[in-house]
Amino acid sequence: MSAAGAGPESREGHREPDRTVDGALRTDTADTADTADTADTARTADTARTAGLTARVTTRRGGFTLDVAVQVAPGEVVAVLGPNGSGKSTLLGTLAGLFDPESATVTLADRVLTDTAAGVAVPVHRRRVGLLSQQALLFPHLTARENVAFGPRCAGQGRRAAGTVADRWLAEMGVAELADRRPSELSGGQAQRVAIARALAVEPDLLLLDEPFAALDVDAAPAVRALLRRVVRDSVVGGQTVLLVTHDVLDAVVLADRLVVLADGDVVEQGPTAEVLARPRSGFAARIAGLDLVTGTAGAGGLHASDGTLVSGAASEPLDHGEPAVAVFAPRSVAVHRERPAGSPRNVVPVRLAAMEPQGEVVRLRAGASERGPAWVDGLAADVTPAAIAELGVEPGDELWFAVKATEVAVHPMRRRRR
Amino acid sequence: MTRARRRVLAGLVAAVALGVAACGGSGGEQQAPPSRTLTVSAAASLTDVYGRLKTQFEQADPGTEIRLNFGGSDTLAQQIVQGAPADVLATASTKTMQTAQQAGRIQGQPVTYAANQLQIAVRPGNPKQITGLPSLVGPQVTESVCAPAVPCGAATEAAERAAGVTLDPVSEEQDVRSVLQRVTTGNVDAGLVYVTDVRSADGQVQGIDFPQATAQGAAQSYLIGAVTGSQNADLADSWIRFVTGPQGDVALTQAGFQLK
Amino acid sequence: MTRAVPASPRPRSSRTGSAGHALPWPVWVPAVVGFGLIAVPVAGLVLRADWPNFLSLVTSDAALDALRLSLQTGLTSTALCLLFGTPLALVLARSDLPGLPVFRSIVLLPLVLPPVVGGLTLLFLLGRTGPVGQLLDAWFGITVPFSTAAVVIAQTFVAMPFLVVSLEGALRTAGDRYEAVAATLGASPMTALRRVTLPVVLPGLVSGAVLAFARALGEFGATVAFAGSLQGTTRTLPLLIYLDSQDDLDSAVALSLLLVVVAVVVIVGTRTRDASGVR
């Protein structure tokens, strides 16, 4: 509960009661944490010993099997990243109680919410799990205030008390003046602020965020994202436990303490946000981090790609030869040539230019496999200046050479967590 | 499988071809189409009797087709007033015939040739031991009658007046067949219908006569007249003579009508 | 009492609309023909009416009794449609019972069944000799046919599908997203139904109820077959109109116009309130 996010002084008066309420909640959680330890340990051998969220979900959906274990400590914000169809929504639905998984255990704040083996399935409305999705989904027949007051009313508060709570949360979200408006009279950003207020007003033990900014205008998203950051990470709630699902790395960077990367239903990577993004080991994480990545096995002086090509680079830690590994480098460290460049020590591979994507100051050249070289270059990126593009005179379909210095390449061990 | 299907197809084609040929042949020579068609608009209660008479008439005169159009007398009269193409009108009340007459749609004087009397229809065995109109009054016996607006209802009212009783029906139906249906389905104990209706119910109901059935206005008169401007005036006349003649009398009597 | 209509933009103008959204002309010809098919006969009714005697025709004892009975039974059966049809629509739209399509087609049966057939089936079930009617008669001394209750039952029978279809459509369009959100906010299923689902589909519920009422008001076949016809008890306006059409066409025309007026008042009244209630 840091004071870092303290807003304008005028809000101090509002915030005080929040702290009290929230403090009580936290204390409660802390008290029960010890007893939760043994229960959790018995249930899932490898779960963290917390009274936050501990979930393990195995279920078949569509074309893949989701098999995920996630822990979120109290007050922690964990982002689940993954491409579409990786199982993110299924995970969220299971946590919220909206889906019936084949096999799952979900424990939140010392309460078993789901335990398929024991036949436990706490209904959605008794889970104390909040959900904020892409669409604000404000109840169209209620004003903004009534929307926010809905949860407290369901919890048994009187109309007036719930209205007071609602006004306080609307003020926190900077939309106090919209209290009497109906959802049809709100912009997307305003509606999402009201929706955040509504989700938080019930003080959930866990808040699930499902791509919460994906449907917002490019203009509105940053402000709402920053607001949510302040709310969930800083002073207002004093550390709301949050599980965020997104495919936008910016959401994760801004909001999350930790990242969990999903691919095809499996956790392929997890760890502190900064660490995962700095040393991505999965294609998706690398791509969202804006990094190039080549998988293979560790060898002397670098990494052997799938076809045996040596990608020269420095290992980030001692690696056994033959150990699964990944070579990572930044697109801006890749040089692009028409002819094979001379000199060493360089990694030089032939590519066929697949696409050109303007990215602010630079143009990102996306490689496709060339008949002359290895297949693993497919998807590699090189960032070059527009001037360089003009000088080279390249266009998609051209045969080019990508070169990167060995010193720019980091080789990480790759530990795929499989269950 | 396919061969069988092909054979069926071939058969179908042949049948259709033959059918077409047969039609062509018969149309040309053998059965000459009826040279004359007579359209008769008749009250619905005459359905059975006229149907039988039509067959007899057509047999006696092969070049003729009788087309029968049954409906409520009032509806039929209205249709003819509006110019519906008909050669003969046969109603079940004097009033409806007058409607057509006043509109100048009836040629000459219509003939009153039959009458129909009311009867109390009860379930077989007469479980409520009904003897006449007075025994219908009161909540222990439920009865259904025609609404006063329709002819059988007017007749019922006349009979009530003559008997000096006021019935307490649970329902006043739009037509006499509905009254009969209430009795046959057992939903009422009794219903006031015509003798012909009881006769047509084939033993599903039993008819109880009562003296006021012959009272002024209680009996239903059947009138028949030729429609003005008919293309088949002579044929219309022969149908009217046929219906009011000996063969008509037999059919009418069998159905329960009284002759006039 | 205010309502929001989700995802249905209010018409900015009741006329053709701006040039950019003009309807293609082939739409207009059949539209005019279709409108004429409905409007011209009604206009003919107006021309045919015996206006000098109109007031006395529609204020006769029989007419007033029929009007009162029609309104009373129509409202009662609409209430019954809401009471039973709303849960029925919820089950059809939200449950995952096996054989739901079969249930749905059974519920919709009265839409395709001739009303007289509906009346007869009710008579065979609830009539004095019917399996249920017999028991009612023997145990409670209740005879359903020929009573005002029979009129209400017949009307409910034919009108219920209109409410169910309309409401089920509204429920499916709204989806269950709002209910899911309400649940995550701590709303029990009953609370979510009462405070979210029903208010969200209220426009569909209202238009379904209006349709059901209109259908009940015009109901003839099932009523005449099952309930019979007796002034003040079972003879509703349509029954009286049909009866009068046998011998008093002026009265039948006048009463038909009365029925048209009642129906128009109900439909226009609810539509207007629906639209003006948004803001």
* Per-residue model confidence as pLDDT tens digits over C203-252: 999 999 999 999 999 999 999 999 989 999 999 999 999 988 877 888 99
Asked if C143 reaches chain B (Cβ–Cβ under 8 Å), the answer is yes
Q: Nearest residue on chain A to C278, judged by CA atoms?
A: A141
The pairing of strands B36-43 and B64-71 is parallel
Rg (alpha carbons) of chain C, rounded to whole number = 22
Question: Is C186 in contact with A155 (Cβ distance < 8 A)?
Answer: yes
What is the domain partition of chain C in residue ranges?
70-234
Q: Residue C137 in contact with residue C128, Cβ under 8 Å?
A: yes
Are B186 and C128 an interchain contact pair (Cβ–Cβ within 8 Å)? yes
Indicate whether C261 pLDDT > 80: yes
- Residue among A95, A100, A134, A141 with most chain C CBs within 10 A, to mutate: A141
Of C6, C191, C195, the CB nearest to A140: C6
Residue extents of the structural domains in chain A = 9-276, 290-413
Burial class (CB in 10 A: 0-12, 13-18, 19+), C86: buried
Q: Is B93 on the interface with C (CB under 8 A)?
A: no
CATH class of A9-276: alpha beta
How many Å apart are CA A76 and CA A166, to the nearest integer? Answer: 25
Report the share of chain A in percent with pLDDT over 90: 23
Across the range A296-320, mean pLDDT stands at 84
B partners (3+ CB pairs within 8 A) are: C
Where in chain B do CATH 3.40.190.120 domains reside? 118-214
Residue ranges of chain B assigned to CATH 3.40.190.10: 36-115+221-259
Pick the CATH number of A290-413 from 3.40.50.10810, 3.40.190.10, 2.40.50.100, 3.40.50.1000: 2.40.50.100
Q: Which positions ≥6 away from A230 have C-beta within 8 Å?
A: A5, A7, A236
- Dist CA C207 CA C274 (whole Å): 9
Question: What is the CATH class of B118-214?
Answer: alpha beta
d(C-alpha B225, C-alpha B111), whole Å: 6
pLDDT of residue A357: 78
Does C186 contact A125 at a Cβ distance shorter than 8 Å? yes
**What separation in angstroms does the CA of C274 have from each of A312, B143, C123?**
72, 47, 38
Least confident of A268-277, B42-51, C43-52: A268-277
C222 touches B at CB < 8 Å: no
Structure token digits, residue C263: 């129906």
Residue C55 confidence (pLDDT): 92
- Whether the pLDDT of residue A86 is over 80: the answer is no
What pLDDT digit, counting tens, does each position of C90-144 carry? 999 999 889 899 999 999 999 999 999 999 999 999 988 889 988 988 888 888 8
Task: Quote the tokens at residue A193.
Answer: 């602020």
- A137 and C184 within 8 Å at the Cβ level: the answer is no
pLDDT of residue B242: 95
Identify the chains in contact with C, defined as 3+ C-beta pairs within 8 A: A, B
List, edge to edge, every strand of the sheet that includes A314-315.
A310-312, A302-305, A292-299, A324-329, A410-413, A314-315
Q: Is the pLDDT of residue A407 over 50?
A: yes
Chains C and A touch (3+ CB pairs under 8 A): yes
Neighbours of chain A (3+ CB pairs under 8 A): C
Q: What is the pLDDT of residue C222?
A: 94
Q: Per the CB < 8 Å rule, is C127 touching B147? A: no
Query: What CATH number has the domain spanning C70-234?
Result: 1.10.3720.10
Query: Which C residues, 3 through 42, put their C-beta within 8 Å of a C-beta on chain B?
Result: none
**Is CATH 3.40.190.10 what the domain over B36-115+221-259 is classified as, yes or no?**
yes
For the beta carbon of residue A340, count every other beta carbon within 10 angstroms.
11
* DSSP label at residue B36: E
Distance from CA of C164 to the nearest CA of B (A): 32
Reported as half-sphere exposure (CB side, CA atoms, 13 A), residue C267 has a value of 11
Mean pLDDT of chain A: 78
User: Which ranges of C175-218 does DSSP label H, i.e. alpha helix?
Assistant: 177-184, 189-192, 198-200, 202-218
Q: Which residues of C touch B188 (CB under 8 A)?
A: 146
Q: Show the tokens assigned to A198.
A: 């509504």
pLDDT tens per residue, range A171-198:
988 899 999 999 999 998 899 999 999 9
Which pLDDT belongs to residue A345? 56
Q: DSSP for C43-110? A: HHHHHHS-GGGHHHHHTSHHHHHHHHHHHHHHHHHHHHIIIIIHHHHHHHHH---TTHHHHHHHHTHH
